[in-house]
């Protein structure tokens, strides 16, 4: 698949002409994680466009992931679909919830295929596994096959959420991370951690460098939904929330730098 085919209707033609360097060169370091699951929102792929996929931004993200993989880190990704359709938003207000959630799952498949294409242009072998069977475009999710792909150095992108309505892609990220025995969930956001209020609106919002699962649930902090947090708590799976928009942050997290916020026991 070429970028020209993906450009319309949701790719920006002007930004597609720009190039992205595949080399990101912060100081060399030894990764502290062997296997991670990265949770990417659909909005992260849309960047400033607000809708669809920004080709320049997706290639930036792919270049960072290629750099992290070169350290020997096994990378699995769960991607959202909010840049196209989200089942709980205003655009789905008059729809049956199950139908709306199924549409949201299909949106995640679009994003997964776009990300796969960007990664393979960086020379990274990538597999998309979907919780909804669509054999012509993606493998079905098979746990042992996913683990084998990771062991062979391939990036695995999990699409279609959990395959069930009423479950978010945050919950899918927690579930898949435990199934593949990931050592941590890295949740990429547009802010640099967890705050007790929206730092975009409240200038003196307090940042938590570390916080427990129970405190996240008690305070109702919008880190991940409560089902996802509870799954991580029950299985003692750490979550690191960090700012994706600062270049090189994925590498910094896997190298053990104390950035963002850590959710643990």
Locate tokens 């959710």: which residue?
A: 263
pLDDT higher than 90, residue 143: yes
Over residues 178-220, the pLDDT tens digits come to 999 999 999 999 999 999 988 888 888 999 999 999 999 999 9
Euclidean distance between CA atoms 115 and 55, whole angstroms: 10
Going by pLDDT thresholds of 50, 70 and 90, the confidence category of residue 1 is: very low
Euclidean distance between CA atoms 64 and 60, whole angstroms: 6
Work out the average pLDDT over 152-176. Answer: 97
Over residues 6-50, the pLDDT tens digits come to 433 444 433 443 444 444 444 456 899 999 999 999 999 998 888
Q: Residue 233's pLDDT is what?
A: 97
Euclidean distance between CA atoms 263 and 265, whole angstroms: 7
Work out the average pLDDT over 77-94. Answer: 82
Q: Residue 92's pLDDT is what?
A: 72
Instruction: Please tell me what DSSP assigns to residue 82.
Output: T
Q: Are 35 and 180 in contact (CB under 8 A)?
A: yes
Structural domains of the chain in order of their starting residue, each with its CATH number: 3-264 (3.40.1160.10)
Does pTM surpass 0.85?
Answer: yes
Euclidean distance between CA atoms 212 and 241, whole angstroms: 13
Instruction: Please tell me what DSSP assigns to residue 205.
Output: P
Structural tokens at position 119: 């990664």
Cα dist. 133→128, 139, 161 in Å? Answer: 11, 8, 12
Is the bond preceding 9 in cis, omega lying within 30 degrees of 0? yes
pLDDT higher than 80, residue 127: yes
């Amino acid at each position: 698949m070429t970028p020209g085919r993906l450009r319309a209707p949701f790719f920006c033609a002007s930004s597609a002409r720009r190039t992205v360097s595949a080399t990101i060169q912060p100081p060399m370091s030894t990764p502290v994680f062997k296997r991670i699951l990265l949770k990417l929102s659909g909005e992260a792929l849309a960047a400033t466009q607000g809708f669809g996929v920004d080709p320049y931004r997706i290639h930036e993200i792919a270049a960072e992931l290629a750099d992290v993989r070169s350290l020997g880190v096994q990378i699995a990704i769960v991607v959202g679909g909010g840049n196209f359709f989200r089942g709980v938003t205003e655009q789905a207000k008059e729809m049956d919830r199950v139908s709306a959630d199924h549409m949201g799952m299909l949106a995640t498949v679009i994003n997964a295929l776009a990300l796969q294409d960007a990664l393979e242009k960086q020379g990274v072998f990538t597999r998309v596994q979907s919780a909804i069977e669509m054999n012509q475009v993606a493998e079905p999710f098979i746990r042992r096959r996913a683990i084998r792909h990771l062991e062979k150095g391939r990036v695995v992108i999990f699409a279609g959420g959990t395959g069930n309505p009423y479950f978010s892609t945050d919950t899918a990220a927690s579930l898949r991370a435990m199934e593949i025995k990931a050592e941590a969930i890295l949740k990429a956001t547009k802010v640099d951690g967890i705050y007790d209020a929206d730092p975009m609106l409240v200038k003196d919002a307090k940042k938590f460098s570390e916080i427990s699962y129970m405190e996240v649930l008690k305070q109702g902090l919008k880190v991940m939904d409560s089902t996802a947090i509870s799954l991580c708590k029950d299985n003692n799976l750490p979550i690191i929330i960090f700012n994706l928009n600062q270049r090189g942050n994925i590498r910094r997290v896997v190298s053990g730098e104390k950035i963002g916020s850590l959710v643990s026991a």
